[in-house]
Amino acid sequence: MLPPFSFANTPRLQLRPLVMQEARELLLVVMASRDSLGRYMSWPREMVELDHARRFVKMGREQWMAGRTVRLGVFERESGALVGNVELDSVDPRRRQAEIGYWVRGDREGNGYAAEAARAMLRYAFESLRMHKVRADVAVGNGASARVLEKLGFVREGTLREDRPVGNVFVDHWRYGLLAREFR
Ligand SMILES: CC(C)(COP(=O)(O)OP(=O)(O)OC[C@H]1O[C@@H](n2cnc3c(N)ncnc32)[C@H](O)[C@@H]1OP(=O)(O)O)[C@@H](O)C(=O)NCCC(=O)NCCS
């Protein structure tokens, strides 16, 4: 079991695991953001039923218990609305490395939310989990996500050829990395 997440409040956001009763809100948010979320990732196009959203919440809890993933809903503090998700995946305590991922609902893009939520998750990764490095893989051409990472100090380390599918096509991905000593 991973340690509790102690960076839940950022200036504008609250980060916490979703509860099962919020699965419907998650489904609505993902469906409303399908075009923006589905451009560079496959799973948003596959979340079309309440059961899929419930599985997403359930798996997040199970993976946290198993010590592999920290999956947090991102809520706007002012409105209480669910505006996105941030997660730390593939947590490897021996190698002291993990992978970060995030998304923001379509109608809230461009407010700096992704960077704000990711920064809190990086604090958790480096301060609570003592990770040495956090990586992120971004579909080539996803300029907004690359910019989020660069704002946080990540360095582009290379290109992974046809690394994972988006829809039916295997897409090249940029590999980004951030070392603990580089986190600011
Ligand atoms: C990528 C994503 C998370 C960004 O969320 P966000 O809250 O809008 O991000 P931020 O506001 O923190 O930062 C976005 C930055 O990208 C810039 N940007 C936006 N579109 C861009 C583009 N096409 N090319 C280059 N930069 C771009 C913005 O100007 C901003 O930079 P700035 O703060 O210097 O002005 C969001 O667009 C999203 O969820 N996309 C779909 C899912 C996804 O791609 N997730 C990442 C998978 S690796």
**Average pLDDT for residues 140-147, to the nearest whole number?**
97
Q: What is residue 1's predicted lDDT score, i.e. its pLDDT? A: 82
The rounded Å distance from CA 143 to ligand 1 centre is: 7
**Average pLDDT for residues 95-124, to the nearest whole number?**
98
pLDDT band per the 50, 70, 90 thresholds, residue 107: very high
Which residue ranges form the domains of the chain, and what is each CATH number? Answer: 13-130 (3.40.630.30)
pLDDT band per the 50, 70, 90 thresholds, residue 184: confident
- Tokens 């290379």 map to which residue? 158
The rounded Å distance from CA 109 to ligand 1 centre is: 7
Q: Is the CB of 53 under 6 A from ligand 1?
A: no
Contacts of 54 by beta carbon, 8 Å cutoff, 6+ apart: 20, 23
What residues are paired with 175 via a beta bridge?
Answer: 137, 158
Q: What is residue 112's predicted lDDT score, i.e. its pLDDT? A: 98
